Amino acid sequence: MRRALAPYFLILPGGLWLLLFFAVPMITMLSLSLQQGDVVSGYVFTFHWQTYVDAIANYRTQLVRSLVYGAVATLVLIVLAFPVAYWIAFYGGRRKPTYLFLLLLPFFVSFVLRTISWRQILTDEGMLLGPLKQIHLLPSAFHILGTPFAVICGLVYNFLPFMVLPIYVALERIDPRIVEAARDLYANPGTAFRKVVFPLALPGVFAGVLMTFVPVSADYVNSAVLGSSSTTMIGQVIQAQYLVNSDYPTASALSFVLMAVLLIGVFAYARALGTEDVMKVAAR
């Protein structure tokens, strides 16, 4: 009897945690999204689905923009992170831990602060653009801040380790003898990489995409600090609806829409590429 109950007791702390800090807020938010009213006279629950319709109609641009920024940033991340991870995994030698530590070092400073530093560096007449404008290499109205370029750069910068680490883990697990075997079977280095190393690293890439695409698409700091009103991302809209306009229903509805879109995207992606390999990587 006791043995039969043991698993349930084991799941109890985690289950309670989830219930309290995930289920309850979610239900509250779902409820909020269906309420009507204003902040002074209060919000009343009315099954007001129209909020969803209006929210999507008003903020579709920002939603699509966020997904596009998320996708672009994720692709750039893969391109940047793969060589770094590859180099550390295969050429890092006994300094591997040092390199990994260096990769994580910026994380010892709050990422908001680091993003604000970038703002100082990239500002219109700052240390980077100021001198170039003074010697007339750039027109005086040229700016990087406030453009999608600046926002995507910020996103890539802030999420780089989340892409490098999973790819590194996948590459690190590759038995060097497999690569040797490929060479013995007359594969040149390029073919060995293409047919052996890269496919084995794919689960890492997959995990990296999951760990970056979702938070990048929902990010609201980079666009707020480095962007302008023409780069507004959906996270900023949600934040502003809660913390500026006190429009809780719209904010909640948008949160659910974003969550649904991301979940569908992630499931479709997992379905297409398979989750088993990812599970294997995660289990290691």
Partner 1 sequence: MPNNIDPALFRGMTQRRLGRRDALRMGGVSAFAMALAACGVEGTGEPATSAAPDAVAKFWAGKASTKHVDFANWPLYMDPKQPELKKFTAETGITVKYQEVIQEMAPWFAKVQPQLKAGQSIGYDLMVITNGIQFKQFKDSGFLAPLDHAKLPNFAANAAAKYKNEAFDPGNQYSVPWTSGITGIAYDPAKVTRPITKLADLWDPAFKGKVGMFSDTQELGNFGMMVLGINPEKSTPDDWQKAAAKLKEQKSAGVLRNYYDQSYIDALGKGEVWITQAWSGDVFQKNASEGSNFKFVIPQEGGTLWTDNFTIPVTATSPVDAQTLIDFFYRVDIAASLAEYIQYVCPVPAAQAQIKVDAAKLSGDDKTSMEAVADSPLVFPVAGDYANLHYYREFTTVAEQQAYQKVFEPIVLG
- Residue 138 lies near partner 1 (rule: CB under 8 A): no
Residues 41-80 as x/- pattern, contact with partner 1 by CB under 8 A:
xxxxx-x----------xx-xx------------------
Residue 264 beta carbon to partner 1: minimum distance, rounded to whole angstroms = 23
For partner 1, the closer of residues 6 and 27 by Cβ is: 27
Radius of gyration over every alpha carbon of the chain, rounded to an integer in angstroms: 23
- Helix then strand count (H, E) for the chain reads 14, 2
Distance CA 83, CA 178 (A): 20
Under 8 Å between Cβ of 268 and 274: no
CA dihedral 87, 90, 94, 99 (to 10 degrees): 20
Distance CA 109, CA 216 (A): 19
Nearest to 35 by CA among 26, 27, 45, 25: 45
Residue 126 beta carbon to partner 1: minimum distance, rounded to whole angstroms = 7
Which range touches partner 1 (CB under 8 A), out of 40-48, 73-81, 160-168, 196-204? Answer: 40-48
Which range touches partner 1 (CB under 8 A), out of 4-12, 37-45, 152-160, 174-182? Answer: 37-45
DSSP per residue, 38-79: ETTTEEEE---THHHHHHHHHHHHHHHHHHHHHHHHHHHHHH
Residue 39 beta carbon to partner 1: minimum distance, rounded to whole angstroms = 6
- Residue 30 lies near partner 1 (rule: CB under 8 A): yes
For partner 1, the closer of residues 231 and 255 by Cβ is: 231
∠ CA(170), CA(79), CA(229), 5° rounding?
120
- Residue 193 lies near partner 1 (rule: CB under 8 A): no
Paired tokens of 19: 């219930």
- Residue 167 lies near partner 1 (rule: CB under 8 A): no
Paired tokens of 250: 């719209």
- Residue 117 lies near partner 1 (rule: CB under 8 A): no
Binding residue (CB under 8 A) for partner 1 from 11, 39, 56, 279: 39
Which range touches partner 1 (CB under 8 A), out of 4-12, 96-104, 108-116, 143-151? Answer: 143-151
Taking CB under 8 A as the criterion, which residues in 229-258 touch partner 1? 229-232, 236-237, 240, 242-248
Angle between helices 248-273 and 24-33 (to 10 degrees): 120
Contact footprint for partner 1 (CB under 8 A): 27-28, 30-32, 34-35, 37-45, 47, 58-59, 61-62, 123-126, 140-141, 143, 145-146, 228-232, 236-237, 240, 242-248
